[in-house]
Chain A
Amino acid sequence: MSFLVPLVVLVPLLGSAAALITGRRPRLQSILSIVALGVVVVISLVLLVVVDTQGAIAVQVGGWEAPYGITLVVDRLAALMLSISSIVLLAVFVFSVGQGQADGDGEAPVSIYNPTYLILATGVFNAFIAGDLFNLYVGFEILLVASYVLITLGGTEQRIRAGVVYIVVSLVSSVLFLASIGMIYGALGTVNIADIAQRMDTIPADVQTIIHVMLLTAFGIKAAIFPLSFWLPDSYPTAPAPVTAVFAGLLTKVGVYAIIRTETVLFVESNVNVYLLIIALLTMVVGILGAVAQADIKRLLSFTLVSHIGYMIFGIALGTVEGLAATIYYVVHHITVQTTLFLGAGLIERRGGTASITRLGGLLKAAPIIAVLFFIPALNLGGIPPFSGFIGKVALFEAGARLDDPLVYVLIGAGALTSLLTLYALMRAWNLAFWRPKADVEDHESPFTEHLEEAPHRVAVQQKRTNPRTMVGATAGMVLVSLVLTFAAGPLYGVAERAAGRVYGSNEYVQLVFPSGEGETQTETSSPAPTPAGGPADEGSAP
């Protein structure tokens, strides 16, 4: 099944080329793009099943052996991320096609949007299956350059302003990442992740720490963890609704995925876990306090996005298999729910003419379907049982409580508080936008809203538009996916647990890439069964 692995990157890339050629025929272009993304969804799901039953797959592209060539690795973690991200990308694309048909070409030229969107998908998929750091860097660059185009789409003044901030911050992070790749190559003579993991013990601890912190900083900017997160709530809300949705769902999670790989494969015996725990605490609390003060739904959601990255960092920083399993489940849950909420916000903005909850009202009567479509993921994000958010948070807290560490208990408390505040912020938004009668909107005074931060430079009421069936359908589909995550939580959590068990400790990963000793192997391999301890990895890690 290893031939499927490169297709994950190739199909959207070729789809993008096809979309570029058919730029003058929007209908054909959209169909081609949907087909490309649909094919990737199928491939990803097949890969997930294959990898979960038969073990991970490593592909040496072009037949060049592992430390020299480009390695692609699909283990359970990568396959899970591929599956959920391809589903999200497809759903958001259907949503944007609906929006494009309804609004015409003015605001977001489809001929540009579709190819760029597919390039973004290429970058995301490439980052997930990259087996060496430089390929990961290239994946990041592909998705970032596509995101630069998408965030400044249409070139209006506000988008250019927000886009410049986003672009400059991303550039700094990319340069930092590239510099740390250079340092790693200088120190270890390789960029292959498995090879780095083998040789990491041979270099002094201080050099390890420098490289570790540089990588974490670069990934931290992309994942928007606390001190590096302030670009996100500023730049995301200005983009078109589908773009914001896919950015919120996927781009930060690519950073989280890279952090997971860093912490579990590259630096197994990590000494930064305490700092990561503190950062996770600050990310959660500072993020959610920002969300509580927002009146604009898109800004509010951007802040909850930052805040919930804290949960994932918390799980990673625990440094246990249980913590990682909970993180993986949480990432999958959060990708789905955050995207759904942003799509819902897009529907609300169109229907109500504004995204500000101080001006919205009476939407429950006007649009009961949107009310339900926003209500379910809102409860889900807030962690109300039985939804997947509750399962993920309980799993995280349980994994933390096993460590029996005072700092971890503080984090569990902060996590519970963050969850409650998320629920408060989202329910207030829902109450004001949907529950409140239209007549109350003028001169509405409430102690809960008087400190709200109105997004400046936003018109009072835009043109109200109805939502075409495609957009509502895509959002409903995403809600359905989040419900599936809830109902299928048992098997899914099993996959997450097995993924975490395999990822943790670099042994499995290293043996996957170097099946029998270093480098001297066949070009394409799949390792069906876990090899007994004392394999080549142990030899390699001996100084």
Chain B
Amino acid sequence: MSVSLVLIVVMAALYACGVFLLLERSMTRVLLGFLLVGNATNILILIMSGRRGAAPIVDGQAPPVDFADPLPQAFVLTAIVITFGISAFMLALIYRSWRLAQADTVADDVEDLEIGRRGVPAEEEDSQGDGDDESGGESEFGDRAEAAVPADATHRVAPDDPGAPASARPRSTPTDESENA
């Protein structure tokens, strides 16, 4: 089975960029990374489908031996549709996240942060009126445990902290910003 080198290089580049973006914090970049990885996988399937050939249309003219394998193309089509649907959902999710917190970043796992903050005096965390999603913020572990996360890391992510309230900021800001832009 001879394979086009260009396709392989493209696939490798897409995978590399895609994985790099998937590991980013910004959700938009995660989405872009997912798109790249998805397309890299589509190219992988295309590579795996073997040699190139005629369009697989049975019209009695081209002998079936010359046909390209149509099945992987059907796989790729299905995969593209699925990727499309998920991208749409992710975009909606990003928009919702932006409306709520005005940040499109992947928020910290509160549990991890809490473990990291042990020993650090509990931060003042506003609470918001959103059912069961708000926090007491107090740590009952006192200062027995050491901080597992360096202090600067905690500070760096602090603006994205899900505890940081959306309601504390003016709701109208998104529209203001978009008007300015």
- Does the CB pair A157–B49 fall under 8 Å? no
Q: Which residues of A contact B101 (CB under 8 A)?
A: 157
Interface string of B71-104 (1 = CB under 8 A from A): 1100100110010011001100100110011000
- Judge whether B135 is part of the interface by a CB distance below 8 angstroms: yes
Q: How far is the CA of A167 from the CA of B88 in the complex (A)?
A: 13
Contact B90 A158 (CB under 8 A): no
Instruction: Tell me which of B59-67, B108-116, B170-178 binds A.
Output: B108-116
Which A87-126 residues have a C-beta within 8 angstroms of B?
107
CB distance from A244 to the nearest CB of B (A): 13
Q: Is the CB of A160 within 8 A of B96?
A: yes
Residue of A nearest to B30 (CB): A168
- Shortest Cβ distance from residue B88 to the other chain A in the assembled complex, whole angstroms: 10
B100 touches A175 (CB 8 A): no
* Cβ-defined contact, A179 with B30, below 8 A: no
B178 to chain A, nearest CB (A): 20
Instruction: Give the dominant DSSP class at B's interface.
Output: helix
Q: What string of 1s and 0s marks CB contacts (under 8 Å) between B23-66 and chain A? A: 00001001000100110010011011110000000000000000
Return the chain B residue nearest A349 by Cβ.
Answer: B132
What separation, in Å, do the CA atoms of A459 and B130 have in the docked complex? 10
Q: Which residues of A contact B110 (CB under 8 A)?
A: 158, 161, 456-457
Q: How far does the Cβ of B151 sit from chain A's closest Cβ, in whole Å?
A: 18
Contact of A457 among B49, B75, B106, B163 (CB under 8 A): B163
The interface bits of chain A over 139-167 (1 if a CB of B lies within 8 angstroms of the residue's CB, else 0) are 00100010011001001111111011101
Complex Cα distance, B75 from A234, in Å, reads: 33
A179 touches B133 (CB 8 A): no
Beta-carbon contact of A182 and B111 below 8 Å: no
Partner of A156, one of B130, B137, B140: B130
Chain A interface residue count, CB cutoff 8 Å, equals 42
Among B71, B110, B132, the most chain A Cβ lie within 10 Å of the Cβ of B132
Q: Is B121 an interface residue (CB 8 A)?
A: no
Contact of A456 with B135 at beta-carbon distance under 8 Å, contacts A145-B86, A155-B96, A234-B109 already known: yes
Q: Are B93 and A185 in contact (CB under 8 A)?
A: no
Task: Check if B97 sits within 8 Å of A160, measured CB to CB.
Answer: yes
- Pick the contact of A459 from B79, B89, B136 — CB < 8 Å? B136
Most buried by B among A164, A178, A191, A457: A457
The yes or no answer to A462 lying at the interface (CB within 8 A) is yes
Q: What residues of B have a CB within 8 angstroms of the CB of A453 in the complex?
A: 111
Q: Select which of A141, A167, A181, A183 is within 8 A of B90 by beta carbon.
A: A167
Can you report 25 A-B residue pairs in the complex whose CB atoms are below 8 A from each other?
A: A138-B78, A141-B82, A145-B86, A145-B89, A152-B93, A156-B133, A158-B132, A159-B133, A161-B162, A163-B93, A164-B30, A168-B34, A175-B34, A182-B44, A182-B45, A183-B48, A185-B71, A185-B72, A186-B1, A456-B114, A457-B136, A459-B132, A459-B134, A459-B136, A460-B136
